[in-house]
């Protein structure tokens, strides 16, 4: 009976260790920044503009790097925490689940996920100048 308990205990420990290792491996393979387009459309009655709605996901510790967009953006945090650095002389603004942020057209900024374990997910509503790249890296 003791040998069955010992074998079951060893199998449990090995299973837990294997599950933990597999989870860490999958987490390490996650794309740092993923953008999933949900809607891209011209707006009737608003010439020269187009609306984009997309899901942005940042892996733990990931950053977008400094960039800008050719229009206004409103972001709603679905999960996690975002540190938004809009280039002012102040510390990055912390946005948490359920909060909104606004970025002006062509405002240079970066977004970082400060968490070491949780992904950041936000839905972004944007009004961009038609025909221009949606993202411009900052110089």
Compute the Cα dihedral for 126, 132, 137, 139 and give only its sign.
negative
What is the DSSP secondary-structure string of 58-91? Answer: E-TT-B--SEE-SEEEEEEEEESEEEEE-SSSSP
pTM recorded for the entire structure: 0.74
The radius of gyration of the chain's CA atoms, rounded to the nearest angstrom, is: 21
Q: Per-residue pLDDT tens, the chain, 139 aa: give them.
A: 666 555 655 655 566 555 555 555 444 567 999 999 999 999 899 999 999 999 999 999 999 999 999 999 999 999 999 999 987 667 889 999 999 999 999 999 999 999 999 999 999 999 999 989 999 998 7
Contact present, 29 and 59 (Cβ < 8 Å): no
Q: What angle do CA 134, 89, 35 make, to 5 degrees?
A: 25
């Amino acid at each position: 009976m003791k040998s069955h308990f010992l074998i079951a205990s060893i199998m449990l420990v090995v299973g837990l260790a294997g599950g933990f290792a597999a989870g860490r491996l999958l987490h390490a393979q996650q794309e740092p920044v993923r953008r999933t387009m949900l809607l891209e459309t011209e707006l009737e009655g608003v010439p020269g503009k187009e609306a984009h709605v997309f899901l942005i996901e940042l892996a733990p510790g990931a950053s977008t790097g400094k960039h800008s967009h050719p229009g206004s953006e409103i972001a709603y945090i679905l999960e996690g925490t975002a540190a938004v650095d809009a280039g002012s002389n102040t510390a990055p603004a912390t946005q948490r689940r359920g909060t909104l942020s606004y970025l002006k057209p062509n405002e240079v900024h970066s977004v970082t996920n400060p968490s070491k374990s949780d992904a950041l997910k936000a839905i972004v509503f944007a009004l961009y100048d038609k025909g221009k790249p949606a993202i411009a890296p900052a110089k």
